[in-house]
Each structure stands twice: as structure tokens, then as C-alpha cells.
Amino acid sequence: MKILIKNVRIFDPASGIDEEGDVFIKNGIVSKKKEETRNIIEGKGLYLFPAFIDIHTHIREPGGEDIENFESASKAAVAGGYSTIFMMPNTEPPIDNDGMVRFVVKRARDVGLVKIYPVGAATIGRRGERLTDMRAMIECGCIGFSDDGSPVKNPRILRRILEYLKGTGIKFIEHPEDTELSSDGSMNEGSLSNKLGVPGIPWVSEASVVIRDILIAEYLSSPIHFAHISTEASLDLIQFGRKRGVKITFEVTPHHLLLDEDNVKITDSNFKMNPPLRSKRDRKALIKALKKGFVNAIATDHAPHPLYKKELEFSLAPFGVIGLETAFSTLYTEFVRKGVIGLNELIEYMSVKPAGIFDLKTGMVRDGAPADFVLIDLKKKWKITEDKFHSLSRNSPFLGWDVYGRVVYTIVDGKVVYKEGD
């Protein structure tokens, strides 16, 4: 298939390109040499970016197909401008064996909209007791390993995981939470949780696991990746580890960058997530780290839940919010348009840097590269409402927000997989 995208603003941080021009695609690859084709996309007024990469997505299939399945998650991803998502392993049953990895790869191929890479469970059943057969799972297509949703509590087991993965090029992704400290908490522990009478989750529950893992990784000379970092203390500890030569990468989420505990509505569990929305000081520290280039990636931690569960009282409702369809627009509106960070930095955090962490051959617009692009109308204003979502779930903390930046086309491997309004 051949596609010519004409008169588009090409914006590629990896190649240093910011210019108006044409992009020609042949057989899924960018080509400098243009050929005749009737497949023409008029890009006047649109920006063309490397398509986004989400390294932290929860799909509920198997076990929760009515909450989010491969098809609905794929539609949500491409509507948000993503060409690639990493599927976390906390399904029912979990992705803890090579058969489950093959299932994920096949289902993703059957749907055929977005690249879905399985993240395998590091321990059987995600129970933190016995290692999975990681070699067999890697051979079947695992991009990484994690017990996400649960930390690896036993440091001896963590050591074995890091030792096994050392030298494979495959990373362990830690969910940094001491569940003994977070216990029955529902929101950030502090004066507000005390005032509301809601059990809290202290910052130390995250930071204590971060420092433990850093020291074990240093001892083994192994790399480690931390999911959804949310506290100033964790950032300080990561800086400490990097100064000691530990290869640490980590992600932050749009909701932790854009919201804090003061936004929590005790009557609305769409503001309940794990880790919880933290203090203003923590949020400011995350933004500062983003501005300094200290952060490695922005990941959505897209965690769908059905309405009947999210309508439970705050303490009983499940943790998690969706984010694939709102990540770019909310961050562009609040950060780029307001001068907090540049457009260049936002695209790096959502595409270029995630690709670099996991050695993906994408995240760029250059001759010979895979044609994974998103075309966005940055001037288009829209309101985030439930009827806009392609996800089967509606649990977003950004409902009602007026935002700028609407995805018009998403192209994956040279194929138009999303067109606005179609």
C-alpha cells in the first residue's frame, strides 16, 4: 500500500525536524522516493508526530471482556494517537506462562489495529513466590516483566528476577508499593485524608520499595524500571541511585502531573487510583522533574473499571482510571499551551523516550522507519465527555474538561487505523 500525506507540519524530535512538507509511505515504511498513488491524505493545518507509545496499559481480557477487551482497548488507543501499547499482566488468569503470551499476541494480531506487546508476570500468579518461565515467555514475545498491581514483596525473589533478566535486554518493571504500609488506604495520607476521615496511603509506602529496589539493582549491576512514580521522595531516591551508577528508568502518569489530592472528590471514585493523587508539593516535584528532562516516559496506566463498581462508595470502589484517549490533549492543553514544557518535550515523553527505554524501532519520522504516525489538529477544541470514549469504561477524572488537540488520523505500519468521525 502507498499513502501520500501532503502539506502536513512534520514534527519529529528524534530527527530534529519541524517543517511543512509531504510524507510518502510504501509498504508500511517511510520512503524519500515518492511514487504515484491515489491514497492521498491532505494534511494542511495538521501536525504529524511519531505515534505515541504507552508502556503501561491494562486490558481486562481474559476475565473481564465486558470491562475492556482487545478490540475496545485497541480502538481507544488509536483514537488517542497510540500505535503501540504494553499490556500489563494482571488479567484473570494472569499472563504468567508462554501460552498466555501467545494468546495476547494472537488476539492483538486478530484485531489488527495497534501493536500490543505483552508484559509477563515475573512470578506465578503474581503472588511473589516462584518465578515464571521467563525464557519461554520472552521467546513468545514478552517485552518486559512485572507483577504490576502488586509489588514483589520478597527481596530474595526480586534478586532472582533481576539476576535472571540480566543481560537479556528485557527489563523488570516494579510496582513500587509496600502494601503493609498502604494497607486499607484509599487516598494520599495527610491532613486532607484525616479531615475527611478516609484511611490514607503514605508517601513512604512507595519510596521504601524504590530505595530497596535501587540498592538491590546496584548490588547486581542490573537495570530496573519503576511504574507510576508519584512522590518527591521517590524522585530524590532515583537521583541518588543514578548518581551511584544504577541504570534506572521510570514513568509518570498524566493524572499525577495534572491533579493532586485537593482535586479528590470523596463522592466520585474516578479520583481514586493507585498510587493515589499526592500532595501539591509532590505534583510540583513531578512537573519540575519533567521540565528538567529527568523523567523517562509518560505512561497512562489506563485501568478501566465498570460503572457499577466505580459507583460504590470511595473506600470500596476499585483503584484506577482510563487515560489512552485523553493523555495527549490534557497535557498539551495544560502544559504546552501554558508554557510549562514545549511541544518537543511532550512528544519525546510520549513517543521517543518510551521507544528508547525498550529499544523499539519506532518513535521517529525518517526514511526507512516504520510508518507509525498520528496527525493532530492542535487548534481544535473539544470537551471530554463519556460519549466520546471508545473504551468500554468511562472512569476518567477529566470528564467535563475543555481541551485542545484532536487526533484526526492514526497510522500504524502504514495503515490508516483511525480517522476522526469514521
Q: How far apart are the first and last CA of the chain?
A: 20
pLDDT value of residue 15: 85
pLDDT digits (tens, 9 = 90+) for 80-106: 999 999 999 999 999 999 999 999 999
pLDDT value of residue 364: 82
How many other β-carbons are positioned within 10 Å of the β-carbon of residue 3? Answer: 21
Residue 378's SS3 state is: strand
Q: Is 301 labeled as catalytic in the residue annotation?
A: yes
Complete domains list, the chain, with CATH: 51-362+392-398 (3.20.20.140)
Question: Looking at 301, 377, 387, 422, which residue is catalytic?
Answer: 301
pLDDT digits (tens, 9 = 90+) for 337-394: 999 999 999 999 999 999 999 999 888 888 889 999 999 999 999 999 999 999 999 9
- Interval 296-307 mean pLDDT: 98
Contact status, residue 277 vs residue 261, Cβ threshold 8 Å = yes
Omega cis (within 30) before 254: no
Residue 49's SS3 state is: strand
Shortest CA distance to 112 belongs to which of 83, 145, 149?
Answer: 83
pLDDT value of residue 352: 96
Compute the mean pLDDT over every residue in the chain, rounded to the nearest whole number.
Answer: 97
pLDDT digits (tens, 9 = 90+) for 229-285: 999 999 999 999 999 999 999 999 999 999 999 999 999 999 999 999 999 999 999
Q: Is residue 2 very low, low, confident or very high in pLDDT (cuts 50, 70, 90)?
A: very high
Torsion of CA 365, 367, 370, 375, to 10 degrees: 30
pLDDT value of residue 365: 86
pTM of the complete model: 0.97
Q: How far apart are CA 15 and CA 369, in angstroms?
A: 11
pLDDT digits (tens, 9 = 90+) for 158-191: 999 999 999 899 999 999 999 999 999 999 999 9
- The kind and range of the H/E element at 205 are helix 203-220
Which residues are paired to 384 by β-bridges?
none
For residues 368 and 54, the model is more confident at: 54
